[in-house]
Amino acid sequence: MVTNVFVSSPVAPSAPQDDIIYQAPSVKLIVYDKEIGTGTLHVTRSNVVWSSAASPAPRISLLYPTISFHGIQRHPSPALCVIMNYELKSVFPNLAPQPTSNEDNDDDYDPEDQPITQLRFVPQNTSDLEALHSALDEGQTLHPDPADEVYDDENFEGDVFDSAADVLEEVMFANTMMVTRLQIEELQPSIEDYQGDDDEERG
């Protein structure tokens, strides 16, 4: 059975040949620490597709707006790491990390509660890593995300990192920053109105 994961549509359309930016055969897919299988990875102008001829391996199609971060992992083995702000529960219901409880701050924003999925693509030929990374850069440029400016700060020094766990922690922290910034922007008009009323009373 082939499973399509496509956030805006139940079925991912087939990419035209001229829509493919880069493709790599024999790419192992690891979700968190679970190996899913080996298949072909297509980076297109519309999405990122991994598919395997083996059964019952799923077919995964990722929309660029759901990709929070991508980079090259050097340890424990070279891989292209992708962090999604979307949970692939329908495909991998048993792979997501167990949520941590926060009894003291139930109303506070907790990055551990974010719907995210960590994927690692391990090509048989490690020389494909740089090309895949560049292709993802090109694809995401075609689909800009306002949140990208949060990730382009001092928290990420380059696109190569030691482990997927390190970058996952950074992504969670950056997401917290983004939510905090959005909350401040939402409150800003109210703050300005309050300051204006206070000035009138003093006058």
pTM over 0.95: no
Question: CA nearest 69: which of 181, 169, 180?
Answer: 169
Strand-pairing partners, residue 67, are 84
Please confirm whether the linkage preceding 76 is cis (ω < 30° from 0).
yes
Model pLDDT for residues 58-112, shown as the tens digit of each residue:
788 899 988 888 899 888 789 999 988 877 665 666 665 544 444 444 455 454 5
Report the chain's terminal Cα–Cα distance, integer Å.
73
What's the rounded Cα separation, in Å, for the pair 71 and 170? 12
What is the tally of structural domains in the chain?
1
Starting at the earlier edge strand, list the strands of the sheet with 47-51: 4-5, 59-63, 47-51, 34-44, 20-31, 117-123, 79-84, 67-73, 160-161
Q: Which range of residues forms the domain containing residue 11?
A: 4-97+104-202
Predicted confidence at residue 130, as pLDDT, reads: 94
Kindly report the CATH number assigned to the domain that includes residue 165.
2.30.29.30
**pLDDT at residue 197 is higher than 80:** no
